[in-house]
A and B are shown apart, each in its own frame.
Chain A
């Protein structure tokens, strides 16, 4: 993480070898088409489709599903993306393992990481987690070139399944690699390991 990370420019659809070389802490810029939504009902519906053996309206094979909210406006010249921004991925942990196991998706994007069940599914399927900088909507949105497709319009805007074309989206940090290493697990472990010493320091330093 510190001083040893690499930076990669990747294009979608993903090539497995390129994903396998990524290590946690590496930075990635993405070009191509990604699918975004921040809807819990949307993730639920994707899982229902998979469970029922129904074909998803957007093919996720070798692609990326992002927990990213998007404001898409209908204008005379078509659909325009006003802004995007990542959401907290752990909210979607109940649905992600099924999605990863059965949709062919190779990257999940969001912020804050994902839980152990999702990490295990990523390891099984050679999938990675790519972390956005939360709250940096202005800069993150600059990468959006076009709105390719929006489906499931019965949902509110940010819950719809939206396919965006992006150019050099990033930097995104590799939070979970294809081998099941997780930046978030590592940092939690490190923090917990420091707890006793930090409590001692707090006690020793008190006025």
Chain B
């Protein structure tokens, strides 16, 4: 039986951890980018990012002062058994984290109707739910989102688009975001399904481990060509010019109707992402 307290604590910890350490694959990709950069300033910026993230990790400090808002993707195993209410465990976990986290959090939760800032707010934390058939665990991914990269996400609905139309839209979205989203970024794209589903796919695509190849050959090919094209745009790390505007682009698709939503979103260079599972046995498995 998964205990309420365990779930509450873990969800809060995942947020805490995500603010202080870069995922390993991202760290490695940043180092590769630094080594491959031809621009002098771009190299310096990447080096600064890498040194700063190491300092944050070594001293348990924030990577970015903007902790954004906590965003969770939760998958509940159909065989998982838990004590108490799951939703309130996430909400209470966040409340307690605000009180105990060190360094302390600034107020980032904003009421869009009044612009008031707080640690609390309607629907906070943002949690999306899914089910894994047969699993005896709850799988939680935390990827907090802030304005820096969050602002540049985009979605358009096409009717029977060609692949060229889709790629053009992605490229144009990358140009529009330009230097603003704290590049080099991780780009996620969702094609098809419905309005909401495409956005969800794009978000989840950013979380796919770097270096993995898309199972769908058309998309694997699209990812390779688009990454090359986007990096040729030349915005570079923090928009200082250079070869690395994107660390990667991950695309997912879903069957749908003739109207085809295409959603594009970005994760800044920190690529915040932590993930863990809690089993019925009470065991916690840290995945990232």
**Cβ-based interface call for A191 (8 A):** yes
Could you tell me how many residues of chain A have their Cβ less than 8 Å away from some Cβ of chain B?
58
Instruction: Give CA–CA (A159, B108) in the complex, Å.
Output: 11
Shortest Cβ gap from B221 to chain A (Å): 4
Interface residues on B, range: 35 or more
B178 adjacent to A25 (CB under 8 Å): no
A113 with B41, Cβ < 8 A, contacts A69-B65, A87-B147, A157-B107 known? no
**Cβ-based interface call for A1 (8 A):** yes
Shortest Cβ gap from B168 to chain A (Å): 6
Total of A-B residue pairs, C-beta within 8 Å: 185
CB interface residues, A 84-127, toward B, < 8 Å:
84-85, 87-88, 90-91, 111-113
Shortest Cβ gap from A128 to chain B (Å): 15
- Which residues on the A side are within 8 Å of B151 (C-beta)? 88
Binds B, one of A15-23, A55-63, A192-200: A192-200
Instruction: Give CA–CA (A120, B235) in the complex, Å.
Output: 22
Instruction: Give CA–CA (A156, B118) in the complex, Å.
Output: 9
In this complex, which of A71, A112, A156 has the most chain B Cβ atoms within 10 angstroms of its Cβ?
A: A112
Instruction: Give CA–CA (A88, B52) in the complex, Å.
Output: 19
- Which residues on the A side are within 8 Å of B49 (C-beta)? 133, 135-136
Shortest Cβ gap from A174 to chain B (Å): 10
Binds A, one of B53-61, B188-196, B202-210: B53-61
A113 with B175, Cβ < 8 A, contacts A85-B64, A136-B52, A199-B168 known? no
**Cβ-based interface call for A173 (8 A):** yes
Instruction: Give CA–CA (A85, B49) in the complex, Å.
Output: 13
Binds A, one of B72-80, B88-96, B120-128, B238-246: B238-246
**Cβ-based interface call for B164 (8 A):** yes
A173 adjacent to B225 (CB under 8 Å): no
- Which residues on the A side are within 8 Å of B225 (C-beta)? 201-202, 205-206
CB contact between B239 and one of A83, A85, A183 (< 8 Å): that residue: A183
A137 with B56, Cβ < 8 A, contacts A87-B66, A88-B151 known? yes
CB interface residues, B 216-242, toward A, < 8 Å:
217-218, 221-222, 225-226, 228-229, 232-236, 238-241
Return 14 A-B CB contacts under 8 Å, by A number.
A73-B104, A85-B64, A88-B151, A137-B61, A138-B59, A156-B117, A173-B45, A183-B240, A187-B236, A188-B175, A199-B171, A201-B228, A202-B164, A207-B217
A135 with B106, Cβ < 8 A, contacts A191-B175, A192-B175, A199-B171 known? no
A173 with B41, Cβ < 8 A, contacts A69-B66, A198-B233 known? yes
A25 adjacent to B241 (CB under 8 Å): yes
Instruction: Give CA–CA (A68, B222) in the complex, Å.
Output: 38
